[in-house]
């Protein structure tokens, strides 16, 4: 089935992935393409609509990112921030470096009657720009302004061209969803035919075509991503989907046993379990660099699979629960490598199996929706995200069985206390991390020189951005007291208040 699609041209903006997500939330399939590849994509398969993203560059610079707007003729197009400025400059308008730069919340003080933005519930918008449009191009009219941005939005309905200086994709623009809905449905005439059910149907067909008569090794961890992936593969090819759980010794307390029980109870296929704890600890001996840890873990997974080839019945493909944020953070043409995910850039080049990644372009909330549509229970669908390398990226410095034990115990206390108080609801991710330093303390009138634990709990929608969960001081104090009293080797507990960005959700 061919869907109407929106092509989001990425000029390197920090919110570009959110544009894609918001369109999909509205039921419209959307994909992102780097601006350097956009012209080829437009010639190859013109989409139903185009959105030009924001970006860090200035359209006034020599060599600023741009595309041939002639390729957009007849295609409804919305320019956001840099996208608006690029459209205005290339079509004959005037863009200037603003005297008063706008960052943060602003109010649309004026919106033109009868325009595509008329009657929004909230005039509050989120701005982040240094340049701005001084004069719109011929044929356009200004339809909104703020006190410091006279041209906050424009339209040329006869050509299906629209632009906003603010960012409708972020939650700080309360009516942003409505702005995008109006563009997609009222102005571009799309119908919204992208659903979880449609994704499942098409993915099943795609997997069967890609795999043929081969067998697929489904690497499962018990998390929502790998569980949904395994459910899809099992539905697509039945027993030729061979589900494997590798216990690498880097899971949370009691998690290996929980994974085996839950997975076999819910899926009913034969689950192969390989105990590889000793080999993973040996391969990580003396390693402290986080990127090296991830690559070692990715390579060891593949070695375990290949060493059990007989049990795996000569699997020709390896299926993983890779998600879109994994791909973005592992580096792309427009995004720097933040951290190499063990299942993306961490896999070895010598791997013989072919990769199958049915969830590669989905956000976490979309994966949860697919899981529900497949009939998976809430205990799986709502499970907190857990990194594939496990506690190895929550232990700064060398990974040893003793340091893993410390993190497991502290993590168990932290999450147990949150659950007991009902504070786990609304948390995207919560965990304990162990720092690679020691500090002086006093216990039982004696000097200690032990390690600090950092607690982190964040709220997020899609892992692309996050903020620290507000937890009352008395609760944090009670948790800290339990950890230093019950976990040998720890004499200090900290709480991480940093948002993403500038930090990441995980410590490594």
CATH code of the domain in which 201 resides: 3.40.50.620
pLDDT value of residue 459: 93
pLDDT value of residue 341: 42
In total, the chain counts a number of residues equal to 508
Are 221 and 361 contained in the same domain?
A: yes
pLDDT value of residue 337: 42
Is 387 part of a structural domain of the chain? no
Are 160 and 203 contained in the same domain?
A: no
Domain of 419, CATH number, reads 3.30.300.10
pLDDT band at 328 (very low <50, low <70, confident <90, very high): low
Cα separation, 135 vs 126, whole angstroms: 21
Q: What separation in angstroms does the CA of 163 have from each of 13, 82, 111, 144, 174?
A: 16, 10, 14, 10, 18
pLDDT band at 164 (very low <50, low <70, confident <90, very high): very high
pLDDT value of residue 442: 77
| Torsion 463-465-470-475 (CA) sign | positive
Average pLDDT over residues 319-340: 61
Q: With 80 as the cut, is the pLDDT of residue 373 above it? A: yes
**Least confident window among 180-189, 314-323, 421-430, 469-478:** 314-323
**Three-state DSSP class for residue 455:** strand
Q: With 80 as the cut, is the pLDDT of residue 499 above it? A: yes
The structure tokens listed for 447 are 């000097």
**Three-state DSSP class for residue 21:** helix
Q: With 90 as the cut, is the pLDDT of residue 74 above it? A: yes
Q: With 60 as the cut, is the pLDDT of residue 330 above it? A: no
Domain boundary among 163, 187, 211: 187
Cα separation, 61 vs 371, whole angstroms: 46
How many domains would you assign to the chain? 3
Burial degree of 166 (CB within 10 A; 0-12, 13-18, 19+): buried
pLDDT value of residue 209: 93
Residues marked as catalytic: 81, 167, 169
Are 215 and 236 contained in the same domain?
A: yes
b/e 240-253 (16+ beta carbons within 10 angstroms → b): bbbbbbbbbbbbbb
| Torsion 8-14-17-20 (CA) sign | negative
Q: Which residues pair with 141 in a beta bridge?
A: 155
Are 50 and 145 contained in the same domain?
A: yes
- Tokens 């995207």 label which residue? 428
pLDDT value of residue 384: 86
Domain boundary among 317, 351, 381: 381
pLDDT digits (tens, 9 = 90+) for 95-144: 998 776 777 889 999 999 999 999 999 999 999 888 999 999 999 999 99
Sheet holding 110-111, edge to edge: 29-34, 5-10, 49-52, 77-80, 161-164, 153-156, 141-145, 110-111
The structure tokens listed for 46 are 């013109």
Cα separation, 270 vs 267, whole angstroms: 9
pLDDT value of residue 336: 41
Cα separation, 73 vs 247, whole angstroms: 55
The per-residue pLDDT of the chain, averaged, comes to: 89
Question: What DSSP assignment string belongs to 399-444?
Answer: --HHHHHHHHHHHHHHHHHHHHTTTTTT-SEEEEEE-S--EEEEET
Q: What separation in angstroms does the CA of 401 have from each of 2, 280, 294, 484, 492?
A: 51, 10, 17, 19, 20
Is 436 part of a structural domain of the chain? yes
pLDDT value of residue 445: 63
pLDDT more than 90, % of the chain: 63
Q: Which domain holds residue 143?
A: 5-187
Residue 138 CB: number of other CB atoms within 10 A? Answer: 9
pLDDT value of residue 377: 87
Q: With 70 as the cut, is the pLDDT of residue 339 above it? A: no
Cα separation, 383 vs 405, whole angstroms: 22
CA-CA-CA-CA dihedral for 320, 322, 327, 330, to nearest 10: -70
pLDDT digits (tens, 9 = 90+) for 245-283: 999 999 999 988 888 888 777 766 578 899 999 999 999
């Amino acid at each position: 089935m061919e869907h109407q699609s929106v092509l989001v041209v990425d000029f390197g903006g920090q919110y570009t992935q959110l544009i894609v997500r918001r369109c999909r939330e509205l039921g419209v399939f959307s994909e992102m393409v780097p601006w350097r590849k956009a012209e080829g994509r437009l010639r190859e398969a013109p989409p139903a609509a185009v959105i030009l993203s924001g970006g860090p560059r200035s359209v006034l610079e020599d060599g600023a990112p741009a595309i041939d707007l002639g390729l957009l003729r007849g295609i409804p197009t919305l320019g956001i921030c840099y996208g608006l400025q690029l459209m205005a400059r290339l079509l004959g308008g005037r863009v200037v470096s603003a005297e008063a730069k706008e960052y943060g919340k602003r109010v649309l003080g004026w919106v033109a009657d009868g325009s595509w933005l008329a009657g929004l519930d909230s005039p509050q918008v989120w701005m982040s720009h240094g340049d701005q449009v001084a004069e719109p191009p011929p044929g356009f009219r200004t339809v909104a302004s703020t006190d410091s941005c006279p041209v906050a939005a424009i339209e040329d309905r006869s050509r299906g061209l629209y632009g906003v200086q603010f960012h409708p994709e972020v939650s700080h623009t309360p009516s942003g969803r409505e702005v995008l809905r109006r563009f997609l449905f009222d102005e571009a005439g799309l119908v919204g035919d992208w659903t979880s059910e449609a994704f499942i149907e098409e993915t099943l067909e795609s997997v069967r075509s890609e795999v043929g008569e081969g067998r697929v090794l489904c690497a499962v961890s018990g998390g929502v991503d790998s569980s949904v992936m395994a459910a899809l593969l099992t539905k697509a090819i039945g027993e030729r989907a061979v589900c494997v759980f590798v216990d690498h010794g880097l899971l949370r307390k009691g998690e290996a046993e929980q994974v085996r029980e839950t997975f076999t109870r819910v899926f009913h296929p034969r689950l192969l379990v390989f105990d590889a704890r000793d080999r993973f600890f040996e391969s990580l001996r003396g390693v402290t660099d986080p990127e090296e840890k991830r690559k070692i873990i990715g390579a060891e997974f593949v070695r375990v699979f290949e060493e059990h080839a007989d049990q795996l019945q000569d699997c020709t493909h390896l299926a993983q629960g890779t998600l879109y944020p994994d791909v973005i953070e592992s580096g792309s043409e427009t995004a720097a490598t933040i951290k190499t995910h063990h299942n993306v850039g961490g896999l070895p080049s010598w791997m013989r199996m072919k990769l199958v990644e049915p969830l590669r372009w989905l956000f976490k909330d979309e994966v949860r929706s697919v899981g529900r549509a497949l009939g998976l229970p809430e205990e799986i669908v709502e499970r907190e995200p857990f990194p594939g390398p496990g506690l190895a990226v929550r232990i700064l410095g060398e990974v040893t069985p003793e340091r893993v034990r410390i993190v497991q115990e502290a993590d168990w206390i932290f999450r147990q206390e949150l659950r007991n108080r009902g504070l786990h609801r609304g948390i995207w991710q919560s965990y304990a991390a162990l720092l690679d330093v020691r500090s002086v303390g006093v216990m039982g009138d004696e000097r200690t020189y032990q390690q600090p634990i950092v607690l982190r709990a964040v709220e997020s929608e899609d892992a692309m951005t996050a903020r620290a969960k507000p937890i009352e001081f008395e609760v944090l104090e009670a948790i800290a007291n339990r950890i230093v009293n019950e976990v040998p080797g720890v004499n200090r507990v900290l709480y991480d208040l940093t948002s993403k960005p500038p930090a990441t959700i995980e410590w490594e």
